[in-house]
Every structure is written in C-alpha cells, then in structure tokens.
A and B are shown apart, each in its own frame.
Chain A
Amino acid sequence: MKKILAILLASTMVLSLAACASNGAATTTSEPAAEAEAAPEAAEAEAAPEAAEAEAAPAEGNTVKAGFIFLHDENSTYDLNFLNAAKEACESAGIEYIIKTNIPEGQECYDAALELIDEGCNFIFADSFGHEDFMIQAAKENPDVQFSHATGTKAHTEGLSNYHNAFADIFQGRYLAGVAAGLKLNEMIENGEFTAEEAKIGYVGAYTYAEVISGYTSFFLGARSVCPTATMEVTFTGSWYDETAEKEGANKLIQNGCKLISQHADSMGAPTACETAGVPNVSYNGSTESVAPNTFIISSRIDWAPYMLHCIEAIQNGTEIEADWTGTLATGSVKLTDINANVAAAGTEEKLAEVTAALEDGSLQVFDASTFTVGGEALDSYLADVDTDPDYTPDTEVIIDGAFHESEFRSAPYFDLQIDGIELLDTAF
C-alpha cells in the first residue's frame, strides 16, 4: 500500500508540475530602454537619427511608459514577432517599458493590465484576440491610460476614447506570397513534375475565422493570378498553436496530392512536414528557413513596430489614437521576408516588385470581385459582419466599386466568403 501511495504521489507531482509549467508561468520582463541603447549594436546607422529625434520628444510632450501583455513567450513565432516589435519601437522612441509574457486569455490579462498601471505604465498593449474583453474591462476603469489591442474587433462599437484596435492589410502580403507560390507551381509544371490541372495547393488553417479565411483566400487569389489552373484544399486544426496537428494536417494535404503548402497557424509543424516530404512551403509570421532550408520560399508577416511607435508618439503629443488603425505596405506594417533563392522560381523578385507597385498605387485590388465567384456567381453586393454580435448579424456593405473592401470598416479582417476553387476539408472548428 505504501508503495502504491508513493507512486501515486509521485505521479500527481509530475502531473501538477506539468500543469504549472504550462499554465502557471506568467512572466514579466522589465527593461529600461537606456540599458538597451547603451549596447553598440542598437545604434544602427539608420536607427540613430530616429532615436535622437524621439529622445527629444518626451521633453516637450507627455512621458510614456509602455506595458506589453503577450500570450506566450519567444517560443511562439506569433509572440516573437510582437516581442521584437515592442523592443524595437520602445528603443527607438527611447521610452521605458515592461513586457509580461505567458498571460492567458482570462482574468489574468485584466490583472496584468492593472499591475502594469500600478507600475506607472500609461500605454498598455495586448497581442492576442482573447485578451480583448479583459482589456476593455481594464480600459473602462482606467480612462487616463491608453489601451491598444492587436487583432480585436470591438473598438469601433465600444465607443471608449482610450481603447483601440489595430491590424494590417496583411491580405496584401498574403497575395504577394501567393504570387511567389504560383510562380513556383508554374516552374514545376514546366519541369514536367505534374500537369497544370494537378496544381493543387494545401493550406493548414487554425479556425474557420475571418482572419484565416481572408488569409488563405488572398493567398489563393495571388497564386491563381499567375497560375490560372491552381486549386486549393484547406484543413483546420482548431488551435492557433499545435505543432502535432499542424504537421499531421500538412502530411494529410501532401498525401491528397497538394504540390505546395502554406499555413496560418503559429508552430513549425507544417514547414517541418514539408521539409521532410520535399514539398515547397510558404509560411507566415516570419521566416521558417531555419527548419526548412530546402523547401521554404517566402513568408509574409505584420510588423507591429510602426503601430506601436504611432501610439507612443500620439500619447507624447497628446493627440487621439484612432479607434481602428490599419497598417499598409506604405506604413511598413506589411512585410515580406527575403526570398529563398534556392527554392523560389526564377524571376520571383522582379514579379513581386511589379505586383507590389500595383497594389501600392491602387491599380490592383486583392479582392477584385471579377477575379472570384461564390457558388458559381460573381458578387456585386455583400453584407459582412463588421460589428461583432453573438448572432453574427451581417451589417455593412463591403463590395464597393467592384471590389471587396477588406480591413476598411474596422481593422480586423471580415472577409468570410467561401470562394470557388477552394475546398474546405473540415469545418468543425
């Protein structure tokens, strides 16, 4: 009996430690910007004049201390992207900041926001969709503090002057990445690896959420703009970060005959599966070349530093921050990584430059309604669910002048159409 007790106690210890490790370890990093600036490598030739400018600013305006709330830590590609942006923005503005990582999407987010305020922060930024309601709660109770939330949908209906949402026209980045993918498909068709009709793309998504739908649709439209016979299959994992499920999803798509894989989920699962199977891959949130040197083509990501700097400067100057802010190619918010020349098709760089120019001058619309059909018919009108409500009521006309206007009526994506040519394998999530 004693032995059994001992074994049971030992095993519960292991279980609870595992539980502690995954849930209990909210952490905070506090780094006075001055320290970081002392490091010589921070003073890049380009950054130096900016920093000097920003350092002068607090003398005239309000002092800003920023507090960041991140869902995971640097081990998640999604959060790493925010972490880097936060450090870059605060260092170039020359302000103090505190970073709290591993904050779950619950009351912990509210507590973290209030603790940051206790420590003197007057600008709070949270990075995960599920943080939104807890940020709103904290914003209501602290009208003197500015709150910014990435990917949220409620700022424009909540009507709080100190609560803001932001996103970027990442569908443009996806479209460009899609063009690179389409060129690769063309190259493989020309090499006789498969016929034009077999040019099928696979996509590993997280949820059937508008942000994901907008992402894979723009990617697909980009690919089809150069490879007209392309089709796509999409599978969903039901999690934003599940390495095993993403790997399995990619393997399933490869077995289904997909010739190229892309994804909207945050682990290295899909790129790793592609590298093993030798299938070209377009990733998201940043380069995955380190795990997939022979299959990685290109990746798109949102650079959050311009928005963070925008907020910091607005508080310093005492101006209002918009309820919704959407970054663009021009603001430097929509970024593409370097092209992996080993894998990408010849001429990709030139083609991307050409398409980028067209997107920037407005002559090319990603969601041009003449380039896609829904249920066999072209759309000239669509009501999207822009104002978030529990019944998903469609409320806003978004097709204007023959194009779907994404991220215009609020920053977070609301494109949720199932266009022809894309087959959803499972929609449980």
Chain B
Amino acid sequence: MNEKHAPLFHIAKRKSLTWYKAWGIRLLAILLALILDALITTLVTGLNPLGVYGTIFKGSFGSMRKFWVLMQNISILLCVSIAVTPAFKMRFWNVGGEGQILVGALATAACMILLGNSLPNAILIPVMVLASVAAGAVWGLIPAFFKAKWNTNETLFTLMMNYVATQLVAYFVIVWEVPKGAGKIGIINQSTEAGWFPMIGTNRYLINIIIVAVLTFFVYYYNRFSKHGYEIAVVGGSEKTARYVGINVQKVIMRTMALSGALCGVAGLLLVAGTNHTVTTSISGGRGFTAVMVAWLAKFNPFAMILTSFLIVFLERGASAISSDFGLNASFADIITGIILFFIIASEFFINYQLVFRKGHRKTEGKEA
C-alpha cells in the first residue's frame, strides 16, 4: 500500500560531495544556463548566440581600459562582500551595506569639501580614511547595539538604516549643490584634486585594487586565525554555547558589526576619493545587496569571493556590451545574465541535496493505481 503512493522522486540531503564533483555540478549549471540563453537569444532575436557570447567576453576584455574598469568594479564589489562577511559568519544578517557605504562616502566627501582648501593631501587623506571608517562603523554599530541589548531584528533594522543614510546624503547634496537648485554636487576639488587618491603611474584605479587586495587578506586572516574570528564562529554556531564557554556575546556582536560597517565605509571612501570624486544617493549602485549574493555564493571565503564578484561584474559588463553591439534593449541583457545567476544558485541546491528516484520495478505497480 505504502509503495503505491511513493512519489516519483524525493529529495534527500547529500553526504558531503568531493570538491571536484561539486565543481562539476557548478560547471554543468553554467553550461546549461548558456544553452538556455542561446536558445532564447536565437528564438527571440534571431542572432547567433556564439556572437553574443563573444561580445559578453569582449565587454570585459575587449581593451586595456575595459579590463581596468572590470578590475576596479570587482575591487569595490569585493570590498563590500568581505565587509559583510564577518557579520554573516556570526549569523547577523547585515543587509545594511548600502547605508554603511553611503555614510562612508558622505564622510569622505564632507572632508574633501570642508577641508580641501586648508589641509595638504598628506594630512587630508588620513583624515578622510578615519572619517569614513568611523562613519561606517557607527552605522553598523547602531543596529548591533539594539540587537545585543534588546534582541531587535537586525535584518529589518539594517535595512531601515539604508533609507536613513540615503536621506542623509540627499540632504547634504542639497546643502552642497552647485549651482543652486541643481541637486548635484559635481566633481569635488576638480582643479586642485585635493583629497583625491594619487594615481599610480598613469593608472587611476590601481590604488583601489591594491587596497582591496590587502583588506581581503586581512579579513581572511581575521576570520580564520584570530581569536575574534573564532568567537564569531562560536556565536554564529550557538549563542548559548558561546555564553557557556564565557564569550561576551553582546560585545562580539557589536565589535563585529562595527568592523563590518567600517569596511563598508572604506568602500564608500574608495568610491569617492578613488573614482567618482563626488557623492550621490545612488553612488553605491546596489552593491550592498549584490555583495550578500557574492559572499553567500563564495561560502564566506574571501578568496572565493574574488571569483564570485568577478562573475557578477563580468556578467554586468557583458550585458552592456550585448546591447552595444546588437542594439538590444538593456532588459534583454538582464534576462541573459539573470538566467545564468539563477542556474548558479540552483546548482548549490543540487550540491547539498540529491533527487532519489523510485526504483524501476514499481513501473508495473504504477499502472494498477
């Protein structure tokens, strides 16, 4: 009787897969996504899918300049991703990266505008670093404090803090707008370049890339080998255990979120002092959210995040190149990259679970039913 109602298949948790099998599944997922994309491209637009894929590749590697823009975009996204990681390892869902980047950017811009004419770069830039780190840390600390003291919901709290930060930036944009009523600050200190990160050789973006590379090593070390990192892992595993072994859970939550916010603040610093030299409400470009996906796909390993953030930026740049060469609307490019992302995320499901099918001899029983 029981067998009659057995489903065609059921889902079971896998025992841990060997690394090459796991990567095999991931590659297969990307391959399937590319095939589906190719079908959709041909059916909808009649274009040759191989040409489209070539263009995606060209969007990132077509010229030296495109390559550096790719590297710069990866470095900023990576910076935010490693920033949210310590909090995530603690099971503190910091979705407030966006706001923490914005206040860091705002603090940097404030220093450049208010102190740009009075301090030399050798002093101004360290001041900007301190200001942006402090601003980001405070923005991360506020929800952590409420979580630690009163167990508020950190997901909602950090999300709300994003809106507060956006409005704060909007307010100061109006205060510093040039010309009056324009609603834009424009490039800050364009003639003096006060507070701008120096170029390395002729490369404007290299300094950002180096800073993020150093931070990536730092976060890896911090999570893996430091006492703090261990405490984070224990708190993330079980708060009760952490308390039992004498870890001050409240302190760990606040310290970790301050670090997480501070690193997001650095991302804001890099965006303002390194590249844009202005601040707008949209300067973080959704990276605070994208970083959550980057960190998660990389299983919170900072070095794996280099790969996952590369993937996201590569797809974004490719999407713009598709529209470029084929005159398609941006939405079509979003469909192509969206399919690839969904397949990659779905592949994680098949790495953790497997489908167990009904045994073959039940076919005959099925007919009876």
Contacts and interface: CB of A to CB of B under 8 A. Distances in A.
Give the residue among A133, A207, A428 with the most B Cβ atoms within 10 A: A133
Interface in A211-244: 212-213, 238
A349 to B, nearest CB: 35
Give the residue among B66, B327, B345 with the most A Cβ atoms within 10 A: B327
Given A207-B182, A385-B179, A24 B319 contact: yes
B332 to A, nearest CB: 9
B190 A136 contact: yes
A397 B325 CA distance: 49
A130 B276 CA distance: 12
B316 interface: yes
Interface string A75-117: 0000000000000000000000010111011110001001100
Contact of B293 (A13, A153, A388): A13
Contact of A118 (B65, B282, B322, B330): B65
B183 A390 contact: no
Interface stretch (A27-35, A182-190, A289-297, A366-374): A27-35
B190 A114 contact: no
A208 interface: yes
Contacts of B226: none
B286 A20 contact: yes
Interface in A367-397: 385, 388-390, 392
Interface string B146-172: 000000000100000000000000100
A9 B320 CA distance: 26
A104 B285 CA distance: 10
A208 B177 CA distance: 11
A9 B296 contact: yes
Contact of B282 (A20, A21, A104, A429): A104
A115 B66 contact: yes
B181 to A, nearest CB: 3
Contacts of B338: 17
B286 A23 contact: yes
Interface in B308-334: 316, 319-325, 327-331, 333-334
A133 B278 contact: yes
Give the residue among B65, B275, B276, B325 with the most A Cβ atoms within 10 A: B276
Interface in B180-208: 180-184, 186-187, 190
Contact of A15 (B66, B277, B289, B331): B289
B182 A29 contact: no
B278 A385 contact: no
A385 B275 contact: no
A16 B338 CA distance: 11
Interface string B270-293: 000001111010110111011011
Interface residues of A, number: 58
A8 interface: yes
Contacts of B327: 29-31
B290 A20 contact: yes
B183 A28 contact: no
B61 interface: no
A232 B277 CA distance: 39
A416 B180 contact: yes
A170 B190 CA distance: 30
A8 B181 contact: no
B155 A8 contact: yes
Contacts of B324: 27-30, 98, 100
Contacts of B277: 107, 133
Contacts of B355: none
Contact of B329 (A30, A73, A213, A428): A73
A107 B69 CA distance: 10
Nearest to A391: B178
Given A25-B320, A118-B63, A9 B345 contact: yes
Interface of A: 8-9, 12-13, 15-31, 73, 98, 100-102, 104-107, 111, 114-115, 118, 129-130, 132-134, 136-137, 153, 206-210, 212-213, 238, 385, 388-390, 392, 416, 428-429
Interface of B: 63, 65-66, 69, 93, 95, 155, 170, 174, 176, 178-184, 186-187, 190, 275-278, 280, 282-283, 285-287, 289-290, 292-293, 296, 316, 319-325, 327-331, 333-334, 337-338, 341, 345
Given A19-B287, A29-B323, A212-B181, 18 more contacts: A13-B341, A15-B289, A17-B338, A18-B286, A19-B285, A20-B286, A23-B285, A24-B319, A25-B319, A25-B330, A106-B283, A107-B277, A129-B184, A133-B187, A133-B190, A206-B183, A208-B180, A428-B174
